[in-house]
Amino acid sequence: KRHGACGCGAASGRARASAHRASPMEPAAPFPLPWGAVVKPLAGYSNDSLTALGLVYGTDKVFHRFTHLYAKVLGPARAAIHRVLEVGTFRGASIRMWATWLPHAQIVGLDWFGCVVGRHSSCTPPGFFEQWAAGRVDSRVTLVNASQADAGAMAAFVARERQAPPFDLIVEDGSHQQRDQQRTLMWLFPLLRPGGIYIIEDIHSGLEPGYDEPRGGEHTTIVVMKRFNRTRVLQSRHLDADEGSRAYLERWIESAETVATRGSSIHHMTCIVRKRARAPHTRVASPDRSVRMVRL
């Protein structure tokens, strides 16, 4: 995987096409599918509609086994998801996947469409943003050219979005830097509706070298969220400077469950943060369900 703002993936070009009629489990696609065909999941991947679409569009969420997890978590409430925000769109694979799987939702994608900054810096080739600017992407999709590491850009984005309906789902798949993951949660969680879901992808970056915190350090996102589930307190140098926003998160986060999917010998981790349906009157520690291992 390219460690930057990435909705792309290694699955690109490996999907097998079928000329058969679409399965009833698949929604009508607002984007033309490659070759005008319906995809059949490859051997070793889950047979669910989100994974099938992920293979069509080539998102690495399939490789990480995240799509099958998301189909299980989001599937029962799929019809109630009307607004989605994804941070880290890259070439647009996952944006197209979400737009197809959620045919009635408005999709917002936020990324810095110049150069990707992460463990390996790279520049995004022209493509998805230019297609969108030229009106060649579904009208339900809105792209915002901004870096999650830029406090001014994030403040401006949040100010605009406060005038719009809240998001039902937010997926953060940006730089994977620990500071960016935690500060983006701080910026965006107020934009999530009560009862909504916020996903922090690839928090296994906190266990890998080359990022902005030592491997497994006390300020890595994975350790911060695990500790929160035990104590209901967010302790991180990346959040300490904004006491009000940290208090908001502590008050409104219901749970933060890290799920480690198992693909061959590699574990990939995503954190599912649930927002309370209503603000609690007292702070109560939740059961420690901080890390769960699943085979997908």
Q: Average pLDDT for residues 273-296, to the nearest whole number?
A: 65
Q: What pTM, to 2 d.p., does this model score?
A: 0.81
The answer to whether residue 3 sits within a structural domain is: no
**Res. 64 pLDDT band, cuts 50 70 90:** confident
What pLDDT shows up at residue 246? Answer: 95
The answer to whether residue 58 sits within a structural domain is: yes
The answer to whether residue 244 sits within a structural domain is: yes
The answer to whether residue 30 sits within a structural domain is: no
Domain count, the chain: 1
Residue 289 CA to residue 264 CA, distance in Å, equals: 24
The answer to whether residue 181 sits within a structural domain is: yes
**Res. 66 pLDDT band, cuts 50 70 90:** very high
Alpha helices, DSSP H, located in 189-240: 221-231
Note the pLDDT tens digit of each residue in 111-143: 988 765 555 555 555 688 888 999 988 899 999
207 lies in which domain range?
A: 49-109+125-275
Note the pLDDT tens digit of each residue in 176-212: 999 999 999 999 999 999 999 999 999 999 988 999 9
The answer to whether residue 210 sits within a structural domain is: yes
The answer to whether residue 190 sits within a structural domain is: yes
Place of tokens 């916020």: 198
Which of 38, 1, 33 shows the shortest CA–CA distance to 17?
38
- Map residue 52 onto helix, strand or coil: helix
Q: What are the C-alpha distances in Å from 274 to residues 19, 107, 189, 294?
A: 40, 20, 10, 19
What pLDDT shows up at residue 4? Answer: 40
CATH number at residue 147: 3.40.50.150
The answer to whether residue 9 sits within a structural domain is: no
Determine the number of helices (DSSP H) and then strands (DSSP E) in the chain. Answer: 8, 12
**Res. 34 pLDDT band, cuts 50 70 90:** very low
- Take residue 165 and report the two structure tokens written for it: 């309906």
